[in-house]
Amino acid sequence: MTHRDLNCEMLTFTSKQRKQMASALDSWNPKKEGAPDYYETVKYVYKYLDFHIAEHEAYLILDMFIFKWNDSVGKKIFEDEFKIHVLDLLREHHYIFMPEKNIGRIIELIIGYLREVGQFQNAEAA
């Protein structure tokens, strides 16, 4: 079935119209105070992600990240340790059809969110 079968025309938008329809995430920024927020973390990931993932995949990766985060309170830990941990958990317990580099990018964005809200700093700087 095509748009012609539905007896409708294809829509085209001017650049002004495209700007008006921009995502609500374009102007959203996380709160910079308090504890990290679960849902804001996923919003941050979607805001900066340059490929598509399903919402359940975003939450699954975040949940695997949180296991390591909670286990690491008060410890010096490097970003790569989070990536390795999340990839290992996903391989061991879940089926997720996504390239490892994409999973790594999502973890980088989760850490980016934590940096933005003041909850993560480079281990080298600590």
| pLDDT per residue as tens digits for the range 6-28 | 444 544 656 665 555 556 667 77
The number of helices, as runs of H, and strands, as runs of E, in the chain is: 5, 0
Of 39 and 124, more confident:
39
What separation, in Å, do the N-terminal and C-terminal C-alpha atoms of the chain show? 58
Summarised one tens digit per residue, pLDDT across range 95-109 is: 778 899 999 999 999
State what percent of residues in the chain have pLDDT above 70.
75
Is the separation of the CB atoms in 39 and 84 below 8 Å? no
State what percent of residues in the chain have pLDDT above 90.
35
Q: What is the pLDDT of residue 85?
A: 92
Asked if residue 48 is part of any domain, the answer here is yes
Asked if residue 55 is part of any domain, the answer here is yes
Range of the domain at 77: 23-116
Asked if residue 125 is part of any domain, the answer here is no
Asked if residue 2 is part of any domain, the answer here is no
Summarised one tens digit per residue, pLDDT across range 28-38 is: 777 777 788 89
Summarised one tens digit per residue, pLDDT across range 42-84 is: 999 999 998 888 888 999 999 999 999 998 888 888 889 999 9
Asked if residue 121 is part of any domain, the answer here is no
Neighbours of 39 (CB within 10 A): 9
Asked if residue 18 is part of any domain, the answer here is no
Asked if residue 96 is part of any domain, the answer here is yes
Distance in angstroms (rounded) separating the CA atoms of residues 121 and 126: 7
Number of domains present in the structure of the chain: 1
Asked if residue 17 is part of any domain, the answer here is no
